Amino acid sequence: MLLRVITACVLVLVVSACSSAATDEAPSDDLVVQEGDSVEVHYVLTLEDGSVEDSSRDTGVPLSFVVGSGRVIAGFDEAVRGLTVGSVVDVEIAPEDAYGLRDESAVAEVEITESQQDVAVGDTVWLTDGREVVVIEIADDVATVDLNHPLAGETLFFEIELVSITRG
């Protein structure tokens, strides 16, 4: 009977020691974001004047993309590489790694149809190819639109939190 109690105590100590060792060490297989991984991130985009331009936290739905796929701006893609789940980083992205520098010659004239007569200077409209443009001038039935991305020429400030990684 005494032998069973001692054996049970030794067994409890061994199990406790093993459990303790397992929880004290960080797992060695933590994923680090790399090319081809599917990731989910929460982000807050702030402009130089401190205004918040966009945030996934507003909707509670993280942004999902494949790293290296070209679906997000280059600076954002680069910023998530090397992160682990739960990491939060603040990054400053220059225009060249975001939406590019402004090109003052990037304008086009677009005919205004009868159903678009209420368009005004400063309005944001979408071209048939899906691009978002701003009306900069209206003359007769023709609108001159700025083909630059609305954030072209802007330095962007992101807070990025990595929510999940799926190895690609």
| Cβ contact 73:86 at 8 Å | no
**Closest CA relative to residue 83, chosen from 44, 37, 40, 33:** 33
* Claim to verify: residue 125 and residue 142 sit in the same structural domain: yes
| Cβ contact 41:161 at 8 Å | yes
Give residue-wise pLDDT tens across range 99-145: 999 999 999 999 988 888 889 999 998 888 988 899 999 998 899 99
* Claim to verify: residue 134 and residue 157 sit in the same structural domain: no
Starting at the earlier edge strand, list the strands of the sheet with 132-139.
Answer: 107-111, 142-146, 132-139, 124-126
* Claim to verify: residue 90 and residue 162 sit in the same structural domain: yes
The pTM (predicted TM-score) of the whole model is 0.73
Residues 168 and 58: their CA atoms lie apart, in Å, by: 28
The pLDDT score that the predictor gives to residue 27 is: 38
Give residue 4's pLDDT band: very low, low, confident or very high (50, 70, 90). very low
* Claim to verify: residue 46 and residue 94 sit in the same structural domain: yes
Query: How many domains does the chain divide into?
Result: 2
Give residue 84's pLDDT band: very low, low, confident or very high (50, 70, 90). very high
**Closest CA relative to residue 95, chosen from 134, 149, 143, 141:** 149
What is the average per-residue pLDDT within 54-71?
A: 97
Note whether residue 24 is domain-resident: no
* Claim to verify: residue 79 and residue 156 sit in the same structural domain: yes
**Please, what is the average pLDDT of the chain?**
85
What is the average per-residue pLDDT within 49-62?
A: 96
| Cβ contact 115:153 at 8 Å | no
* Claim to verify: residue 96 and residue 155 sit in the same structural domain: yes
* Claim to verify: residue 82 and residue 114 sit in the same structural domain: no
Percentage of residues in the chain having pLDDT higher than 70: 83
The 3-state secondary structure of 48-73, one letter per residue: CCCCEEEEHHHCCCCEEEECCCCCCC
Give residue 88's pLDDT band: very low, low, confident or very high (50, 70, 90). very high
Domain housing 49: 38-100+151-166
**Closest CA relative to residue 146, chosen from 98, 108, 99, 95:** 108
* Claim to verify: residue 58 and residue 42 sit in the same structural domain: yes
* Claim to verify: residue 158 and residue 93 sit in the same structural domain: yes
H or E stretch covering 142: strand 142-146
* Claim to verify: residue 133 and residue 65 sit in the same structural domain: no
Residues 87 and 161: their CA atoms lie apart, in Å, by: 6
* Claim to verify: residue 68 and residue 137 sit in the same structural domain: no
We report the CATH number of the domain holding residue 79 as: 3.10.50.40
The C-alpha angle 146, 151, 152, rounded to 5 degrees, equals 65
Note whether residue 54 is domain-resident: yes
Residues 129 and 51: their CA atoms lie apart, in Å, by: 29
